[in-house]
Amino acid sequence: MKVLNIQSSASLERSLTRKLSTAFLETLLEAHPETIVEEVDLIQDPPPLMQPEWIAGAFNKGELSEAQRKALEPSDRYIAQLEWADVILIGAPMYNYGMPAALKAWFDQIARINKTFSFDLSRGDEPIAPILKGKQLVLMTSSGEFDFQEGGSREARNHLTPHVRACAHYLGVDLEVDFHHVGIEYQEFKDERHEASKKRAFEALPGIVKHLYEQSGVQV
Ligand SMILES: Cc1cc2nc3c(=O)[nH]c(=O)nc-3n(C[C@H](O)[C@H](O)[C@H](O)COP(=O)(O)O)c2cc1C
């Protein structure tokens, strides 16, 4: 199994999403040492923001100019990594109620016409169709506040998981069966609710590893 490990917390050593992701990979590698992991650190090596040449190049059906080719290089590289991966692991802290800007910039690089989605108005009101398929997404989140889940008191302020879910089709992920989310809450309260939330999150990891392998059809 090939895992693309994408991290976006601007904290390094103290980050809970990085710790959770590392623990997940350790659990996975312990059970399946043949697993290959490729790291993408969006903080230490940030993706560029989209530029006019990027958009012009992405929609250019002819030959790309040198500037367009250069602007699309990071996108080409990120998409090749996505194509390679079976599992996409994303560590995503909640910043200002949404995903970190670096992670949004990565999604902007990988959502690309005729590479990760096609667009055809003959499909009616759903012209976008994903090109990649069969990928599993494991999303690790952490937030200072709490109750962001469906029906929770802060549901309307949660622009993190709903946004990742909305973009998951570009990754080739079927949300019904291939989306796994583990979230830590209450980080800013630093109380027993935070400790309980952390404990639950770390305890959920072996179950996800098992599920991934069952989904992939590999003998466990
Ligand atoms: C710049 C910044 C913005 C944040 N914004 C929010 C927020 O909008 N809502 C929230 O619940 N927590 C917020 N937090 C708290 C983080 O989500 C929390 O510290 C989380 O553990 C960060 O993930 P990490 O530990 O992997 O770095 C913010 C933290 C930082 C540093």
Ligand 1 centroid–CA 31 distance in Å is 31
**Which pLDDT tens digit goes with each residue over 72-82?**
999 999 999 99
**Which pLDDT tens digit goes with each residue over 144-166?**
999 999 999 999 999 999 999 99
How is domain 2-216 classified at the architecture level of CATH? 3-Layer(aba) Sandwich (3.40)
For ligand 1, say whether the CB of 144 is within 6 Å of any of its atoms: yes
**Which pLDDT tens digit goes with each residue over 206-215?**
999 999 988 7
Q: Whose CA is nearest to atom 31 of ligand 1?
A: 95
Ligand 1 centroid–CA 156 distance in Å is 17
Q: Where are the domains of the chain?
A: 2-216
Task: Give me 121's structure tokens.
Answer: 């108005």
Given the CA of residue 148, which atom of ligand 1 is nearest to it? 11
Q: Mark 141-165 as b/e (b = at least 16 C-beta within 10 Å).
A: bbbebbebeeeeeeeebbebbebbe
Enumerate the β-bridge partners of residue 128.
119
Q: Helix H segments across 60-174?
A: 66-84, 101-110, 161-167
**Which pLDDT tens digit goes with each residue over 62-117?**
999 999 999 999 999 999 999 999 999 999 999 999 999 999 999 999 999 999 99
Ligand 1 centroid–CA 34 distance in Å is 34
Residue 32's pLDDT band (cuts 50, 70, 90): very high
Q: Which pLDDT score is estimated for 217?
A: 61
For ligand 1, say whether the CB of 21 is within 6 Å of any of its atoms: no
Residue 191's pLDDT band (cuts 50, 70, 90): very high
Q: Which pLDDT score is estimated for 49?
A: 98
pTM, 2 dp? 0.97
Ligand 1 centroid–CA 95 distance in Å is 5
Given the CA of residue 14, which atom of ligand 1 is nearest to it? 25
**Which pLDDT tens digit goes with each residue over 117-151?**
999 999 999 999 999 999 999 999 999 999 999 99
For ligand 1, say whether the CB of 97 is within 6 Å of any of its atoms: yes
Ligand 1 centroid–CA 157 distance in Å is 13
146: helix, coil or strand?
A: coil
Residue 218's pLDDT band (cuts 50, 70, 90): low
